[in-house]
């Protein structure tokens, strides 16, 4: 853990103990908050964000402190940095694969498309019961991956 950022974060958590960390908390806009709650995630914690590296000591970004991560039993999570005007940077933390931080700036529609894909990769391809479903028009679409692929492919999918 490195020095405090001056940024506050908001941790959202679901019943599977997956997390979504958004910073700065002050820039969370209503569409993003509503979307995360609809997945369903709920606000679980907030506080000062700290700079941390991935599990393989690669990459670094602001996120929740390690003690908060442990307190909520979260091993895998998504990090969203809100830049403004609904533009965001997104990273993925997985203890096995480390911290993936593509430099692409995403808009809300791409976030809505890719968060369910990332959650499904967290679950693995064998857990079909807990797939996250996306609604397009009237028909749900199941996004299933045959194997765990690199997160930056998921995040870069536009």
Q: What is the mean pLDDT of residues 51-70?
A: 94
pLDDT tens sequence across 135-152: 433 334 343 333 344 455
What pLDDT score was predicted for residue 76?
A: 97
Into how many domains does the chain fold?
Answer: 1
Which two tokens mark 27? 């820039």
Q: What is the mean pLDDT of residues 31-55?
A: 96
User: Residue 49: which domain range?
Assistant: 4-156
Confidence of residue 85 (pLDDT cuts 50, 70, 90): confident
Helices (H) and strands (E) in the chain, counts: 4, 9
- Cβ distance 145 to 119 under 8 Å? no
Q: Please state, in angstroms and rounded to a whole number, the distance separating the CA atoms of residues 115 and 46.
A: 21
| Residue 61, number of CB atoms within 10 A of its CB | 19
pLDDT tens sequence across 90-132: 999 999 989 999 999 999 999 999 999 999 999 995 544 444 4
Whole-prediction pTM: 0.79
């Amino acid at each position: 853990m490195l020095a405090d950022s001056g940024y506050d974060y908001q941790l959202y958590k679901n019943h599977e103990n997956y997390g979504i960390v958004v910073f700065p908390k002050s820039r969370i806009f209503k569409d993003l908050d509503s979307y995360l709650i609809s997945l369903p995630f709920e606000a679980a914690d907030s506080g000062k964000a700290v700079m941390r590296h991935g599990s393989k000591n690669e990459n670094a970004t602001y996120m929740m402190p390690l003690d908060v991560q442990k307190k909520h039993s979260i091993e895998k999570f998504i990090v969203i940095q809100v830049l403004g005007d609904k533009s965001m940077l997104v990273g993925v933390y997985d203890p096995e694969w480390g911290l993936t931080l593509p430099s692409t700036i995403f808009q809300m529609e791409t976030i809505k498309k890719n968060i369910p894909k990332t959650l499904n990769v967290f679950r693995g391809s064998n857990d079909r019961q807990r797939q996250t479903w996306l609604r397009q028009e009237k028909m749900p679409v199941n996004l299933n991956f045959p194997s765990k692929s690199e997160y930056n492919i998921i995040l870069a999918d536009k």
